[in-house]
Amino acid sequence: MIRKDVLSNGLRVVTDYMPDAYSVTTSLWAGTGSAYEEAHLGGISHVVEHMLFKGTNKRNYQQIAHILEDVGGQMNAFTSREYTCYYTRSLGENFELCLDILSDMYLDSQFPAEEWAKEKGVILEEINMYEDTPDDLVGEMFNRKLLPTHPYGLPVIGTAESVSSFTREHIDAYCRSHYAPQHTVLAVAGNVPHEDVMRQAEKYLAGGKFTAEAWDKPKLTAPEYGAGLTYVHKDIEQIHITLGVPGLAGDDEDIYALNLLNSILGGGVSSRLFQEVREKRGLTYSVYSSVAAQAFGGSFSAYASTSPKRVDELLKVLGYEMAKIAADGVTEEELARAQAQFKAGLLMGLESSANVMVRLGRTETVYGRVQTVDEQVAEIMQVDCAAVQRLAGELLQPNKLVLSMVGPNEPQVDLQGLLSC
């Protein structure tokens, strides 16, 4: 059962007690990410994520690395446009140890200058690796073209130039000003009762250690979307493609219809794109569609890669399948299959404390509320074929298209003519 409480300092605590689980996944969510960075600080949320593991007054980086593994636990973190999450996964009996470590890192990291000198190189290599991975690069290019003036369009990881300019003082100042209790969520899923979580939360997180007592978090606005083509030359064997349009915010009333549209178009091996592009034509090894939904906007896109001599055919098929689903809609059979997949995914996800934790933490951090799985299933089952077709027709418009490509040569593309059937 999902429960929520608020500590005296404003920090929110959400839990889902799973008495039959052996594990507990414990997480602290900071309600800041790349979308809340000033222009000259691009990537600093991600840098702070790395540096929180580098030592506190109580523990050095080696002790942080070893202490959980000594009891069979794990610890990691990730950064997005809207939040940064630090989490552990352990046996339920080690919950207090996990919260002790996480809160110590979150509240008392020292960001040693000598550690930043080393970690800077690690992050710069991460940026280089990203640039050398064409399927990642083409997605980032798509995002920048779609969102040319909005913070959502900026790379979460930053750039080599911005990261190289940061000092230990930049990192410390950003963390101390943004990691405020009112914008922090403790999300715990697993074999620890809510009352036990609250008792330990009061002990480790309700004190006066927060330096960012009241960050005046800016409210983002809905993006103005771009359209058009973008291409980067890479001396590789294939051309990688992302073709898509503006999507929806995560709390839009049509978000479930969009998830079902995505499933039917390119969400699995039974989807239209997989069957037509890979199974029937053999054009690619990997093809899929995806939804990105943030608090104020998002995207709906398809990805595939193929050899240069077959790229024209691939683009025509991608465009045709998008146009066809917008013009003719989906069948009752397709809708029922997509609903069954969505429902099964939600219910099977309940078996993993890590999956439950992410659902709790993300939705509470971004939207200030958590939907139960039953509520989500009810919403998805209410979507009908007409709603999916209406949404496809609204989104999949030629004047909204963005096409990004990475490969050895640039194909000549009539972008406006792609969506024809």
Same domain, 245 and 176: no
> Residue 251 domain-assigned?
yes
Residue 366: give the domain boundaries. Answer: 228-417
Query: Can you tell me the distance from the alpha carbon of 1 to that of 228, in angstroms, rounded to the nearest whole number?
Result: 47
Same domain, 324 and 389: yes
What pLDDT, on a 0 to 100 scale, did the predictor assign at position 207? 77
For residue 30 the two structure tokens come to: 């900071």
Same domain, 410 and 356: yes
Same domain, 234 and 198: no
> Residue 350 domain-assigned?
yes
> Residue 126 domain-assigned?
yes
Same domain, 190 and 238: no
> Residue 386 domain-assigned?
yes
Same domain, 388 and 321: yes
Determine if residue 158 is left, alpha or beta; phi over 0 gives left, psi from -120 to 50 gives alpha, anything else beta.
Answer: left
Same domain, 239 and 172: no
Q: What is the DSSP letter of 245?
A: E
> Residue 222 domain-assigned?
no
Same domain, 200 and 236: no
What pLDDT, on a 0 to 100 scale, did the predictor assign at position 403? 98
Give CA angle at 23 (17, 26), nearest 5°.
70
Q: Which of 146, 229, 225 is nearest to 405 (CA)?
A: 229
What pLDDT, on a 0 to 100 scale, did the predictor assign at position 421? 64
Same domain, 11 and 68: yes
Per-run averaged pLDDT (10 residues), the chain, 421 residues: 94 97 97 94 97 95 93 96 98 97 96 96 95 95 97 96 96 93 96 98 86 79 96 96 98 97 96 97 96 97 97 96 97 98 95 96 96 94 98 97 97 89 64
**Domain end marker among 145, 173, 205:** 205
Looking up residue 292, the CATH number of its domain turns out to be 3.30.830.10
What pLDDT, on a 0 to 100 scale, did the predictor assign at position 416? 87
Q: Is 416 exposed, middle or buried (0-12, 13-18, 19+ CB in 10 A)?
A: exposed
> Residue 213 domain-assigned?
no
Max Cα–Cα distance, the chain, nearest Å:
64
Strands (E), 105-198: 184-190
What pLDDT, on a 0 to 100 scale, did the predictor assign at position 212? 63
> Residue 292 domain-assigned?
yes
What pLDDT, on a 0 to 100 scale, did the predictor assign at position 270? 95
Active site residues: 49
> Residue 34 domain-assigned?
yes
Domain total of the chain = 2
